[in-house]
Structure formats: C-alpha cells, structure tokens
Structure 1
C-alpha cells in the first residue's frame, strides 16, 4: 500500500509562513505569468486605461493589456527587479501628483539594521509606498508591508501585493481559537523578519485608516507583535520584546488627501445611519485614487527606536502616539480648515499661509458637496486639535 503524502503539512513544516509571507524570488516568474492572463486584472486595467475599447471590444482590449504586462515585466525575475520597476512609476507619480516630498529622521537610523516601522495610517497604499520611496532614495532595502486580508478579495490583488513584499494580517479568521493561532503565526513571522532575516517591516498603528484625521495607536497591535516573544518566555518583561523588534514610530502628513471626500461620506454615514456599506471595488478605487490624486506636499518623519523601559502595551502605544504627533507636519490646509470651522482660534497659525494656499484650499473646498463639507473640514482640522492636546 502506497503511503499518502500530506503535502500541505510538509509545506507548513518547511515554511510555516507560506500562506502569509511575501512572495520569494523563485515565485516571481509564475506569479507574473498568472497576472498577465488574469481576466479580472486585465478587465480592470482596460476599464481604467481604455474605457471605450473595453466596452466595445473587451477581448481585444484584454489581449492588449496582457501584452503590455508581459512587455513591462520582461526581464523581471526577482522581487527586487519588480520593485525597481515600481520605483520608476513612483517617481512619475511624485512628479505629477505631489508638489514636495520631505523626509526627516532617517539619517539617525542604522542602514544595516532592520526596524519595525509603525506609523499613522491615512492611505491604503501610499503610506508604505512613501516609506519605501524614502528608503530607496537613501540606498536602503524596502520594507515588508502588513496588509489586512479584507483588502485581498481578488486573487490578482493578493498576487500584486505579495509581489510588492506585503504579508497578510488575518482579520477574517472565524472563532477565538482560529484567530489566536493566526495572530501567533503572524507575530512569529514579524519576529523572524526582524531578528532572523534582518528585514524591516511597516505596520499601521491601528486597523484601518484614520478617516477623521485623529491618529491613535491600538494597544492590541502591541500585544500581537510581542506574542511570539512571550510564548517563548512568559516571564520576560514586555520591554525586552519591544527592544527585540526595534519599534520606530513614523509620522506621515499629506497636505491634501485624495480620498478626503470619500472619507467624509463614510464618516457622515457612520454618524447618521449607524453604518457604512462599502461597494465591491471601493478599496481598489481608494488605492487608485490615492496614487493618482493630487496630494500637495507630503512630509515623512522617522522617530527614534523604543527602548526597554515600557512595561505595558498601553505605555508603548502612548509613546508611539507621542512620537507620531510630535513628528506630524501641519500644513496650511490644516489651519485653514480649523479657521473655516471657527473653532479654537488660539491654535491658528496662519503666519506661513499664502494667498496661493488660500486659493488652493478654497478651490478644493468648492468641489466638496455641501452636506459633506463639515466632515471634510473636520478631517483637516482634527490634526491641529489633536497635536495641541498631546503637548
């Protein structure tokens, strides 16, 4: 009798993070070949780039899109190759949709050391993309990016994200035991990336974007990150796990958020209707809007690594909040929104607000539907209020 070979358990024993980790170099060719024939991806690309042709000649338009993907990825055999192609698009995006991009604090971090960058979260794809671009410009390796499985509803999206060094955060596991096991595995992977692979990671300070402009760290994220260390040594102080992970808070500030109207709509629905139902492709639309929409000026600040002095997840979260808010750059758009709301005049700092700033702000506000304006203004005004309260 021929024994049955359990390939799934064999794979798990050799590669315990196979289902959540980013793709490796030996998986790139097959993934790109799969993407170049994926009908959903090809359809999405043609609807965006060739809307008329995609309606009238869908098969031909998909064939053209497939040829473009094959041409653009010719010679791409490693994850690094893939990211270098993305870097070219990133530079083009910066030129067309960003007026200025400044980075502070990165020079103080060792080039050859892996860090767990934990930052405020405003945009699904852009927050880690700007972190990656800053690292790329300084000659450092890019990060592995934590992304919730709620965003990976389409196989082609999962492939694209994992090609771009994303790893999967489980949010849809059913049952307490399944969720605990999933988070233990995730924590183990994060620890392995920092300590074993010496490869940096980016994570958001809480689940979901801060749609109201208020940045607060969820202590549950800290608990998850340190699970692997605590499982190995339950008596070890929390600070030991924190220093092992080399947590570095990161602040990102956008002068304008390309998804601000959509966020205002969601905030209004949550307040007035008690809930908000996303459309099937809304997350994908948010990614596209974030990449292509005008952002004005963008400021990125890397903080300092946390030490072993923190003994509770809440204390760690408070320090992350302190560094994120102290590093957050307030633009004219933030002060002009507070002025428009007529609140906290003592916090207004209009010394560097130019007439051009006012004109841009007024033009942007004029495009916002009347019923969403207060929600739109609140997104930009809240960082001024929140930063002031943290002082």
Structure 2
C-alpha cells in the first residue's frame, strides 16, 4: 500500500490479468452463476457434469487474454452481439467535438447498472477513443468473482460501507485522488452523476459527487470552479427507448410508498445487471456534451448547470411522448402496445410512477 496508495480500489494492471482469470475459472460460484443463467434447467441436476466442461471452455476461450486491452477487445465483441440482439439501434452524438488524445471525466446520468458505462465505452471504441476507467460501488462486489470481473474490465471501487465519518473521509479522499491520478496518466474516467439509478426518471447530479472531486483540488489550494474545469468534465446523457428494469424499479418505489420501506434480496443487483444486459432496449442514444467550462463556485449551482447539459440532450421516443400525454402521429401501434404493457405490469396505483419514469425526459426538456 505504501508503494501503491490505490492498490485496494484500482483496476488490474496487465501483469495481473492472467492470475485473475485463473482465479475466476477456479471460482465455484462463478461457474455456478454461468450455469444458472445459460442453462437454468440443467444447472441443478447436471451441474456436477457441466461445471468441468464450462471450466475447460473458459480456459480455451480466455487462454490468450494477457492484457487489459485484450480483455477490452473481448468485451467489445460481446457488446456488438448484445447490441444486435437487444436493441434496434445504438446511436451517439458529440464525440466529434472531443479529442481522442485528451482524458475526460465523463459524468453520466444513471439508468442501468452495467449498460450505462458499457455503452459509453462502446461509443468511444467505435470512434477510436481509449475506453474509460469505471467507478463502481462496492455494494455490487459482495462476491469475489464479481470483484475479479469488474477489475478486469477497468473498474475501480467506490467504497460506500464506511463505519464512521473518519473512515468515510479517508475513502472519499482516496477516491478523489485516484480520479485525478487517472486523468493525469491520460486515462479517462466514467462515473454516475449520483449514487444509485434514477428509478423515477429524474436525472439529477448529486452535489456531493462534485465536492468529492474537489477534495484533491482543495489540497492544491485551487478554487472549486478552477479545479473542476481542470478535470475536463463531459456530461453524458444516455436515453433508452425501453428500460428492461422499469417494472422492478417501479415495484421498489411502490413498496416504499405504500409500506414505508423496501428490502433488497441478496442477488437483486446481480439480477438487475443481467436483466439490463439481456433485456430489450429498443433504440438507444448516447449524447456527449462539450467539456464544461466556467462552472459556478457553488456545488449546488454547478450540479444544476451540469443537469441542464444532460436534460437538453435527452433523445425522446414515442413512448416518452405517450407517457407525457403528448401522443404524436409517429407513435406506432407497437409503441402504444409497449406502453400499455408497461402500465399493466405494475399495480394500478403504481401506474403514475411508471408514467413519471417515461414522461420526465419530455417534462425536463419543456422546462
């Protein structure tokens, strides 16, 4: 730790890739997870028979992965297949205004746990940019195999389980320093604008995130706005036509509203990740803003400025117009049917929450 102050949170280096892959292949829970999701009917009675075959297949498939770039190229191939099978099309805008030789801090709205950073990465890769280092909460890394997978894929850990103010301060200071360290080493970074997905459709930047960025700048004696400008912050707006996890999000909000609380199941986040990856998303657009300049010195005002950059870049689809009550002629029968299915998938009282999830982009743009 004295030699590497970020050893416990940073992604793997090239020389750590092969050992991490070996640990993954040897991880019983990892193999069981693959069997469960790929062969749900066979994984129980024939798990003992299939497990060695899966391990052998992985060894052969991953034998040549000796570097972070090799892993990324493998992920890029997976993304191509996933986009082809679960979306109608992925489009992007704004990258023509960015420099592939510059590192950026991509501050994105947050609708899907894994797909948000993955889609940003895919768009960057298409245009010859280096992929980003991804901020991921340690609440998603309860299993050793999850940590291995994320750190292989250029993810760094955001520690959220601090037991007191002193530990929290230490964690945030380390995180702020690591983000600046990454940018100084010419590595771009992706981080969500808030902790947790915007389950109500209201994408808002948490000023606390900006304060965390500034902790390293404060050490250097820089003003808040001066330091944030030096980070090359690029607001990003990701617009999904259909959210594969919308019903689950609304059920959570409905339980909180009607029962006062909501208790997550043990593997709920993992299930949400998988559903977000394999679920149908329709059209998807990723809009990159220009790097923000001259932000206000007040964190709340700075967050509001970033929000405006995100909201004006929403790509609104017919389902958003239907939810907002602005039915347009281009709302096809399929769009109307999809919208009705979503309304019927939640309790009658919760339909207002589903409506808000899809209507908010229209409302924000009208404001």
Normalised TM-score (structure 2): 0.97
More displaced, 54-63 or 369-378? 369-378
Could you tell me which residue of structure 1 aligns to residue 71 of structure 2?
Answer: 82
Distance, in Å, in 1 between the alignment partners of 2:78 and 2:46 is 28
Structure 1 stretches lacking a partner, 5+ long: 1-11, 340-347
Report how far residue 299 of structure 1 moved.
0.7
Could you tell me which residue of structure 2 aligns to residue 343 of structure 1?
Answer: none
Report how far residue 367 of structure 1 moved.
4.6
Could you tell me which residue of structure 2 aligns to residue 359 of structure 1?
Answer: 337
Could you tell me which residue of structure 1 aligns to residue 205 of structure 2?
Answer: 217
Distance, in Å, in 2 between the alignment partners of 1:243 and 1:303 is 14
2:170 counterpart SS class: helix
Is 2:87–2:284's contact at 8 Å kept on the other side of the alignment?
Answer: yes
Distance, in Å, in 2 between the alignment partners of 1:254 and 1:52 is 31
Report how far residue 360 of structure 1 moved.
3.5
Aligned Cα root-mean-square deviation (Å): 1.4
Could you tell me which residue of structure 1 aligns to residue 308 of structure 2?
Answer: 322
Could you tell me which residue of structure 1 aligns to residue 112 of structure 2?
Answer: 123
1:379 counterpart SS class: helix
Could you tell me which residue of structure 1 aligns to residue 264 of structure 2?
Answer: 278
Residue 129 of structure 2 is aligned to residue 136 of structure 1: no
Report how far residue 57 of structure 1 moved.
2.3
Residue 23 of structure 2 is aligned to residue 34 of structure 1: yes
Could you tell me which residue of structure 2 aligns to residue 375 of structure 1?
Answer: 353
Distance, in Å, in 1 between the alignment partners of 2:225 and 2:353 is 39
Aligned partner (choices 188, 192, 205) of residue 204 of structure 1? 192
2:42 counterpart SS class: helix
Task: State the number of aligned residues.
Answer: 367
Could you tell me which residue of structure 1 aligns to residue 144 of structure 2?
Answer: 155
Bigger Rg over Cα = 1
Report how far residue 324 of structure 1 moved.
0.3
Report how far residue 81 of structure 1 moved.
0.3
1:294 counterpart SS class: coil
Is 2:107–2:193's contact at 8 Å kept on the other side of the alignment?
Answer: yes
Report how far residue 365 of structure 1 moved.
4.2
Report how far residue 238 of structure 1 moved.
1.1
Residue 360 of structure 2 is aligned to residue 388 of structure 1: no
Could you tell me which residue of structure 2 aligns to residue 229 of structure 1?
Answer: 217
Is 1:261–1:372's contact at 8 Å kept on the other side of the alignment?
Answer: no
Residue 284 of structure 2 is aligned to residue 307 of structure 1: no
- Spell out, residue by residue over 1:221-276, the C-alpha distance to the aligned partner (whole angstroms, 9 max, x if none): 0000110111122xx21122112111010000000000011001101011111111
- Spell out, residue by residue over 1:175-223, the C-alpha distance to the aligned partner (whole angstroms, 9 max, x if none): 100100110011000001112x111000100100000000111000000
More displaced, 52-61 or 314-323? 52-61
Normalised TM-score (structure 1): 0.91
1:99 counterpart SS class: strand
Distance, in Å, in 2 between the alignment partners of 1:363 and 1:172 is 38
Distance, in Å, in 1 between the alignment partners of 2:164 and 2:343 is 45
Distance, in Å, in 1 between the alignment partners of 2:352 and 2:97 is 40
Is 1:50–1:61's contact at 8 Å kept on the other side of the alignment?
Answer: no
Aligned partner (choices 154, 164, 179) of residue 165 of structure 1? 154
2:82 counterpart SS class: helix
Could you tell me which residue of structure 2 aligns to residue 7 of structure 1?
Answer: none
Distance, in Å, in 2 between the alignment partners of 1:90 and 1:351 is 33
Distance, in Å, in 2 between the alignment partners of 1:71 and 1:367 is 42
- Spell out, residue by residue over 1:88-124, the C-alpha distance to the aligned partner (whole angstroms, 9 max, x if none): 1110111110001110101100110000000100000
Report how far residue 384 of structure 1 moved.
1.8
Could you tell me which residue of structure 1 aligns to residue 102 of structure 2?
Answer: 113
